[in-house]
Amino acid sequence: MLVKEAYTHTRNYGCRIRKYTCNDIRMVSIENKYLKAAFALDKGADLVELLYKPKDIDCMWHSFNELQNSLTQPTVSAKAGNFMDGYAGGWQDLFPTYGAPTSFHGGEIGVHGEACIYPWECDILTDTPECVSLKLFLRLRRSPFTMEKIVTLKENSAKLQINEKITNVGTTEQQFMWGQHPAFGWPFIDEHTRLHINGKPTVTVFQSQCVQQCPFEKETIGIWPLLPDKKGNMIDMSKAYAHEDQLYMEYAISQLEEGQYELINETSGLGLRMTWDLNRFPYLWVWGMYCGHNDYPWYGRAYTMAVEPWSSMPANYSVASENGTTLSLQANASMETEISVELFTNAINSK
């Protein structure tokens, strides 16, 4: 006769939750038999592990910077902020600004905003073998916002559902930028990985990104996925490149047909599908770092492809405010959005 457990919160089957520490950082993970997702609560609630268990492949990039407590003191405070000192890869929320450091109504905000720097709190909403759900939340310090995201994983599913909400707790209307910063890494990313986007969106390489080991020498605009490089050769922007190619590429994708893309490794057959609200995030920013940037902070060590839904363009709060691509919230108002990321296999011939 089978006896059902009286206590299931410590189970190691079905959907489950674990709270633990790593290098003095509070962590929380949710998992089932297909997927494990781990969040670094004390480091912006970054998603630092997205493990597809059947193939033992973690899709997230793990930087040469080990995940470490943000209280570690740098050699000297950087004018651009502390993001780079603590960046260990993974997936960050970029808010209320991203890209260049900026002044936000007199408050100095560093590279990629506030949300990815501060500790978050965590409440357990659902904890059953059939479904687990967490509420992650924080209050920002130099801007008048609160943020929360509810992450949910269901039994027999390889899809992580994320529901985010921001609230303006100030007394005046606020403009802001909002972005997702998921950086994917080896072995999911290699020269056999392709980015699939429906339609024929516009691709823009900005002049500011035409630096060393970039195949473009001036601002270049074209139709996805091919752009001419400095020698007139057509570069396939949809593919990841090998370590030995030593390339560096960053570019924007606009005029998207839908809020969805797929990254597919044609060798392993593992695919990742991300969906989002195109009204909130009408742009994609692609960061292709294939061991191709030899100066600070990468020094030729970074191998990653990040495909990031963004609200505004370019990655500069002042410029985005002037060109009208920032979002805005009235006092005491909230804004919500949904994002999902799903892993799937046998994806070689799906496109």
Q: What is the DSSP letter of 142?
A: S
Containing structural domain, residue 96: 16-344
- CATH code, domain carrying 154: 2.70.98.10
Q: Long-range CB contacts (< 8 A, 24+ apart) of 105-112?
A: 105/143, 107/142, 107/143, 108/142, 109/81, 109/142, 109/143, 109/317, 110/78, 110/80, 110/81, 110/82, 110/83, 111/80, 111/81, 111/83, 111/84, 112/81, 112/83, 112/181
Number of domain units in the chain: 1
Of the candidate ranges 44-53, 170-179, 198-207, 251-260, the one whose mean pLDDT is the lowest: 198-207
User: Residue 350 pLDDT more than 60?
Assistant: no
Residue 31 has pLDDT above 60, yes or no: yes
d(CA 140, CA 337): 19
- pLDDT, the chain, mean: 93
173-180 mean pLDDT = 98
CB count within 10 Å of CB 217 equals: 13
Domain-embedded: residue 2: no
Alpha helices (runs of H) in the chain, residue ranges in sequence order: 83-86, 317-323
d(CA 115, CA 177): 12
Within-domain flag for 3? no
Task: Examine residue 350 and state whether it is found in any structural domain, yes or no.
Answer: no
Q: 351 or 114, which is more confident?
A: 114
29-48: average pLDDT:
98
Q: What is the pLDDT of residue 3?
A: 47
Query: Is 140 inside a domain boundary?
Result: yes
Q: Which residues contact 232 (CB under 8 A, 6 or more apart)?
A: none
Each residue's pLDDT tens digit, 132-158: 999 999 999 999 999 999 999 999 999
Q: Given a cut of 90, is residue 247 above it in pLDDT?
A: yes
